[in-house]
Amino acid sequence: MSLLRAGWIIARKDLVVEVRSRELAYTTLFFAVACVLVFAFAFVREGRALDDAAAGILWVSIAFSGTLALGRAFERERQNETLKALLLAPTERPAVYLGKLAGLLLLMLCVELVVVPVVGLLFGAPIFRAPFLLASLLAAGTLGFAGVGTLFAAMLVRAHSRDVLLPILLYPITVPVIIAGVRGTAAIFAADPNFDAAQSWLSMLIFFDAVFVTLAFWTFGPVMSE
Amino acid sequence: MKTANRFVPFLMLGAAVMFARAPFMIHDAPMESTMGLIQKIFYFHVPAASATFLAAAVCGIASALFLWRRNPAADHVAVSAAELAVVFGIIVLATGPLWARKAWGIWWQWDVRLTMTLVMWMVFVAYLLLRRFGGPGSEVLAAAVGLFGMALVPFIYISVNYWRTIHPTTNVVPSLPPEMAAPFWWSMLAFVLLFAAILIVRVRLESSRAALEDAYAALED
Amino acid sequence: MSGFKRVMTAGVMVIVASAAALLAQTTSGFEPATNIGKESLPAGPLVYTAYAIVWLVLIGYVFMLWRRLDRVEKELREVAARIGSGKRS
């Protein structure tokens, strides 16, 4: 069975489970919105948000809710011992990585579809000023974050202290994603927007994705084998 | 490794002699025109940063070797290099702000190079935390982290040349006048010798620990 | 305390100590970056503190490493001796 087809089957399995229970979607979405709210209280002064607060709050909420979603997605596999079954299946290991990544990516993009308008509403951020550029930034950033996160969450499934170790490992490695994402988004949202800067940050995100998703893809097999 | 251990006394002696002479050479070096005395931190700050990056690279390569070949010696080298990256990183992150405070008036600036160095340091702290608290089998997981940490390093180097920052650009070193170049390269060599010596000793500690565990296991049989 | 904890503790102590030393020496409070006068902040103490940090961290780490190595190798010799005597009896 080809790699992509196996990956698609795994992703579809996750999608079906998720559509039936909608557990991850609802909880991750609500957590992201709650994050935005908490940060709003931190950064809004006299009814107006600080400059660039909207971009920062958006990406931090994505990072936090993404971390929880990653943890929950693999916790589900661990509880039902399905991860071991997946790894024993006669497909190449990286197919499992691709499948899980696709599922998580879809989940996070759906969450962002709701969180971005919420941020636009609460902070008056001009989310429709450069919609394609903004969407590209979000997609590339989410891919980078989920790409590394899927690997780390999978490999920590059997480790001790896995709940706190996932963010400890994930956040330093994905700092370039957060920096590029926030700076790019802020460049679009600013009173005096700088689309060239946003495009440079987008290129850096794409470069990061190319390097790190490939690295995660190659590393998945060796890391997950006993 | 046994042959490497024999080099240690020479490396240590070489490093000690160089470190003893270094302060005098640095004292005699001319003052930098715009920054004055504070620039002299650079003679130890930059070699320490090089040692940190070197440790990160060694850890990354050893991690890759361990991940794909499961060679226990590679794992010993990886964890030793990670620890050295953290130690030399402490030196860089402590001396850098002291220089910055005087030269540019602020303790810290979130430009890309400083940020990435801090981030890299945190990656290797996370590596050590994973090994300590991750439970059995965390050597393999940590190897993946070490590999990713090394992959992050080029981003640090490229970023300085791609974005303007207040950090001196990497072109500073080739353009050093000879009176400054001599103490600089002297310090650099001293740090490299010390790095090599400490790494070998640390790897020896790690393999001794592994041998001890095997010995205890054999004792119980 | 394990070696790792010692490294961490020593590192944190060095950073805290240097920060304390500097705070004791800085003259006024926070000044904007644009008009900090190079004459007002003496460079000497900063340079000496920086070098002190380098020496302390390096010497401290090497010292801790040597102690850990001594302890592990001593234990290794003891266990090896016990295995040897166990086999003989």
Q: Is the pLDDT of residue B10 over 80?
A: no
Q: State the count of interchain CB pairs (< 8 A) between B and C.
A: 105
Angle CA C32–C36–C39, to nearest 5: 165
What distance in Å separates residue B40's CA from the closest CA in chain A? Answer: 31
Beta strand A48-49 with A44-45: parallel, antiparallel or unpaired? Answer: antiparallel
Residue B185 makes CB contacts below 8 A (sequence gap 6+) with: none
Q: Residue B147 and residue A208: Cβ atoms within 8 Å?
A: no
What is the average pLDDT score of chain A?
A: 88
Domain, as residue range, for C9: 3-26+42-88
- The greatest distance separating any two alpha carbons of chain B, rounded to the nearest whole angstrom, comes to 70
Which of the two residues, B207 and B171, has the higher pLDDT score? B207
Are B147 and A215 within 8 A, CB to CB? yes
Strand partners, B32: B36
B96-105 mean pLDDT: 80
pLDDT tens digits for range C27-52: 334 434 554 444 566 777 778 888 88
pLDDT confidence tier of residue A136, bands split at 50, 70 and 90: very high
pLDDT score for C27: 39
Instruction: Return the number of CB contacts < 8 Å for A and B.
Output: 71
Nearest to B66 by CA among B52, B54, B53, B80: B80
* SS3 letters across chain B: CHHHHHHHHHHHHHHHHHHHHHHHHHHHCCCECCCEHHHHHHHHHHHHHHHHHHHHHHHHHHHHHHHHHCCHHHHHHHHHHHHHHHHHHHHHHHHHHHHHHHHHCCCCCCCHHHHHHHHHHHHHHHHHHHHHHCCCCHHHHHHHHHHHHHHHHHHHHHHHHHCCCCCCCHHHCCCCCHHHHHHHHHHHHHHHHHHHHHHHHHHHHHHHHHHHHHHHHHHHC
Q: Which residues contact C44 (CB under 8 A, 6 or more apart)?
A: B37
**Which tokens in the block code for residue B91?**
């030196």
Strand partners, A45: A48
Q: Do chains A and C touch (3 or more CB pairs under 8 A)?
A: no
Give the closest residue to B152 by CA, choosing from A150, A172, A182: A172
Contact (Cβ atoms closer than 8 angstroms) between residue B206 and residue C65: no
Chain B within 8 Å of C16 (Cβ-Cβ)?
Answer: no
Question: How many Å apart are CA A1 and CA B122, to the nearest integer?
Answer: 40
Confidence band, pLDDT 50/70/90 cuts, at residue B134 = confident
The pLDDT-based confidence of B97 (bands split at 50, 70, 90) is confident
To which residue do tokens 């992959």 refer? B151
Distance from CA of A26 to the nearest CA of B (A): 30
Query: Has residue C33 been placed in a domain?
Result: no
Assess C79–B contact: CB distance below 8 Å, yes or no. Answer: yes
Structural domains counted in chain C: 1
Question: How close does chain C come to B45, measured CA to CA in Å?
Answer: 9
List CB contacts (< 8 A) between C81 and chain B. Answer: none
Domain extents in chain A: 3-224
Which residue in chain A has the smallest CA separation from B136?
A159
Please determine, for residue B158, whether its predicted confidence score (pLDDT) is greater than 80. Answer: no
Neighboring chain B residues of A152 at a CB cutoff of 8 Å: 144-145
Chains that touch A (3 or more CB pairs under 8 A): B
How far, in Å, CA of A71 to CA of A77, rounded? 10
Mean pLDDT in residue range B145-166:
67
SS3 at position A15: helix
If you write DSSP's letter for every residue of chain C in order, what string do you get?
--HHHHHHHHHHHHHHHHHHHHHHH--SS---GGG--TTTS-HHHHHHHHHHHHHHHHHHHHHHHHHHHHHHHHHHHHHHHHHHHHHH-
Structural contact between residues A121 and A33, judged by C-beta atoms closer than 8 angstroms: no
Q: Which chains, if any, share at least 3 CB pairs under 8 A with chain C? A: B
Q: Out of C41, C54, C62, name the one closest to residue B91 (CB).
A: C54
Note the pLDDT of residue A1.
66
Query: Residue B95: its chain C contacts at CB < 8 A?
Result: 50, 53-54
Distance from CA of B175 to the nearest CA of C (A): 23
Looking at residues B144-153, what average pLDDT do you find? 88
In chain B, residues with a C-beta closer than 8 Å to the C-beta of C2 are 132
Q: Which residue matches tokens 């030793």?
A: B80
Nearest chain B Cα distance for residue C30, angstroms: 9
What pLDDT, on a 0 to 100 scale, did the predictor assign at position C81? 86
Say what the pLDDT of residue B180 is.
Answer: 76
Give the 3-state secondary structure of residue A161. Answer: coil
Q: Over 50: is that where the pLDDT of C25 sits?
A: no
**Looking at per-residue confidence, does C20 or A214 come out higher?**
A214
Tens digits of per-residue pLDDT, A78-132?
877 777 777 777 777 888 899 999 999 999 999 999 999 999 888 888 889 989 9
Give me the amino acid identity at A147: G
Among C43, C47, C62, beta carbon nearest to B198: C62
Judged by a CB distance cut-off of 8 A, whether residue B21 touches chain C is no
ipTM of the prediction: 0.84
Give the tens place of pLDDT for each residue, B167-183: 555 545 556 677 778 88
Collapse the DSSP code of A49 into the 3-class scheme (helix H, G, I; strand E, B; otherwise coil) and give the result. strand
Chain B residues lying within 8 Å of C32, measured CB to CB:
105
pLDDT band at B166 (very low <50, low <70, confident <90, very high): very low
Residue A27 has pLDDT above 50, yes or no: yes
Percentage, residues of chain C above pLDDT 90: 15
B11 compared with B97, residue with greater pLDDT = B97
Write down the pLDDT at residue C31: 38
| Cα dihedral across residues B133, B138, B141, B143: positive or negative | positive
